[in-house]
Amino acid sequence: MRSIKGMVAETSVLDPEEGIRFRGYSIPDCEKLLPKAKGGEEPHPEGIWWLLLTGDIPDEKQVAAITME
């Protein structure tokens, strides 16, 4: 897919050089910035959902509220 635009959406972009970006954040950025479960290494799915809906990185409290819903 080098130099061919494959997908563009409000919430994500598939860049031919940089890969997928969610609201401007790369996958490694999301892995670093999004809250993780205690003892876990991967972000909560609710965190990426929050990011896609709002464009903001959620905190633990916001992720917990979505989990409760």
Nearest to 30 by CA among 18, 17, 44: 44
User: Is 36 inside a domain boundary?
Assistant: yes
In a domain, 1, yes or no: no
Task: Tally the domains of the chain.
Answer: 1
| Token duo for residue 64 | 């917990």
CB 58, CB 47: distance < 8 Å: yes
Question: Residue 44: its pLDDT value, please?
Answer: 92
Is 48 within a domain?
A: yes
Is 18 contained in some domain? yes
Residue 61 within any structural domain of the chain: yes
Predicted model pTM: 0.74
* In the block, residue with structure tokens 């409000």: 10
Residues of the chain with pLDDT under 50: none
The pLDDT value recorded for residue 63 is 94
The reply to whether 2 falls in a domain is no
Residue 55 lies in a domain: yes
Residue 18: strand, helix, or coil? coil
Structural domain for 27, as ranges: 7-68
Q: Give domain status of residue 46, yes or no.
A: yes
